[in-house]
Structure 1
C-alpha cells in the first residue's frame, strides 16, 4: 500500500504543478473531454477522492450513494455542489481531499474489501490503484486541452494492472462473453522495463509502449491511432473495448487511421 500511495502522491504533485496558478479563464475553458471544463475535471477527481474516504469508512454500499447524498451529480457525474468554486478554490479543496485520502489508505488494511461500484467490490489496495488511474485519465484531458504531452512515469503500472484485471468487466459491459482465447499483453515502461500479462506464446498479442496502451485503456485514444501492435482478432476486439474504470461502456473516438 505504501508504494501505491507514494505513486499517487507523486502523480498528484505532477498535476498540481501543471494547474497551480492557471488564470480563471483557463480553468473555465473546455477540457479535451468536451463535456467538462478543466475545473470540472478536477472537481470530479476531488469529489470521488472524498467519496473513496467515505466508502472506506463504511455506511454506503455503492459510491453513487455518496455522490447522491453528499454532493450531487448530473448525468455525466459532474459534482454539482461545487460548481460555485473558482479554480483556485477547487485546487485548495482537492489538496484537502487528496491529503485525507492518502492518510486513510495508509491506515487501512490493503486487503479490506470496499464496495465501490455495484457488483464490483475491490480491495483497498486496488481502490488506491483506481484513484491513481482516474487521476491520470483526467489529467490526460487537461494536458490535451493545454496542448501538453501527457506525463507518463513507471507508476502507470497501476493503470496497466487495471486494464488487465478489469478485462472480464470490459466484456460484460459490452454485452460480450469473455472467451477462452489466450492473449498476451507486453508493453514497455518509460524506464525500459517490460510489463507483461497473459500467455507469452499466444497468437493474439498486444505490444508497444505503456503510454500508448494506458491511453487506450482509459478510453482517451483509439488503439488504431497509436503505435501499438495488435495481432489477432481477439486482441483487436479487446483493444477496442478495454476499460479501466467502472460504469457503462465508454465510447472512444473513431480512428483517424483505420487498420
Structure 2
C-alpha cells in the first residue's frame, strides 16, 4: 500500500509545478528574456534549470548508469555545469522549453509514484528515498519560482507546501556550516515558524533548547533558499550560534553564492 505521506508530497510537487507554469504559460517570447535576481539568468534560464534537474531526478530514479554519466559531467566541470545546463535550455524557443519542462515534470511524477518507497536513489549529495527527492524538487521549484515571480513583479501567496522547504532548511543547518568550513554547533536549536495561515506553528528541535529561531515560515524559506537577505526578514535568533546560522543558512547543496543584497524586498 502506498505511503500516504509520500503520495501527499508527490501531489504537492505537482501543484508547485502547475503554479509556476501558470506564471509563464502566457508570457510572450520576449518576456522569457526578462532578467531575474540571479545574475545572468533570465526567466528562460530558471525554467531550463528546473527542467535539467527534473531530468537528473528522473534518471536517478529510472536509469542509474545514465545518472552516473550526469554526475561525471558535473565532476568534469564543477564550476560551470549548472550554468551550462541552464544556458542550453534557455536557447530553445520558449514554447519548446515550456513543453519539455511540462513533459519532464509528468515523467518524473510517474517515476516517483512507481518507485519503491524504501529504496534510496543516488543524487549529487546523499542518496534519497522517493519522498525526500520529491520534497527536494518542491523546494527547488519554489525557490526558482520565486526568482520568476520577482522578475515579473508578482507577489505569490504562501501555501502550506512551504513546510517542505522549511524542514529541509532546518535539517541542512550543519551543512550550511560545513560548506563554509565552520564547525557545526554542538546542540540543537529550537525553530518555531508561523505557518502561512497564521494559526499554526511549525516547530523543530527540543522545546528547552537554549538557542532558538522564530518568525514567519515564508521569511525562513526565503532565507534558507537565499532569495532574501536576513535584514529584510522578520526572523529572530536567540543565541550566538543561532544568529550566525541565520547569516549562512541554505537549504540546497553546493556553494551558497552571493545571495541577495539587503533592501531587495519590501
Q: 2:192 aligns with which of 163, 186, 196?
A: 186
The separation in 1 between residues aligned to 2:260 and 2:238, in whole angstroms, is 21
* Count of aligned pairs between the two proteins: 253
4+ aligned runs moved over 6 Å, structure 1: 66-69
The structure with the greater share of residues assigned to strand is 1
**Aligned CA-pair RMSD:** 2.1
Q: Please, what TM-score do these two structures have when normalized by structure 1?
A: 0.90
- Kindly tell me: are residues 115 and 239 of structure 1, through their superposed partners in 2, closer, same or farther at Cα, counting changes over 3 Å? same
In structure 2, the gaps of 5 or more residues are 1-5
- Secondary structure, in 3 states, of the residue corresponding to 2:161? helix
The separation in 2 between residues aligned to 1:116 and 1:224, in whole angstroms, is 33
Q: Which residue of 2 aligns with 1:200?
A: 207
Spell out the pairing of 1:1-259 with structure 2 (5 A cutoff): 1-57=6-62, 58-59=64-65, 60-61=67-68, 64-65=71-72, 74=81, 76-118=83-125, 120-191=126-197, 192-256=199-263
CA deviation after TM superposition for structure 1 residue 123, in Å: 2.0
More displaced 10-residue stretch of structure 1: 233-242 or 79-88: 79-88
More displaced 10-residue stretch of structure 1: 151-160 or 95-104: 151-160
- Kindly tell me: are residues 122 and 77 of structure 1, through their superposed partners in 2, closer, same or farther at Cα, counting changes over 3 Å? farther
- Kindly tell me: are residues 79 and 67 of structure 1, through their superposed partners in 2, closer, same or farther at Cα, counting changes over 3 Å? farther
- Secondary structure, in 3 states, of the residue corresponding to 2:241? helix
- Secondary structure, in 3 states, of the residue corresponding to 2:55? helix
The separation in 1 between residues aligned to 2:16 and 2:178, in whole angstroms, is 30
The 8 Å contact of residues 174 and 185 in structure 2, kept in 1 or not, is answered as no
In structure 1, the gaps of 5 or more residues are none
CA deviation after TM superposition for structure 1 residue 203, in Å: 2.6
The 8 Å contact of residues 212 and 238 in structure 2, kept in 1 or not, is answered as yes
CA deviation after TM superposition for structure 1 residue 67, in Å: 6.4
More displaced 10-residue stretch of structure 1: 224-233 or 15-24: 224-233
- Secondary structure, in 3 states, of the residue corresponding to 1:230? strand
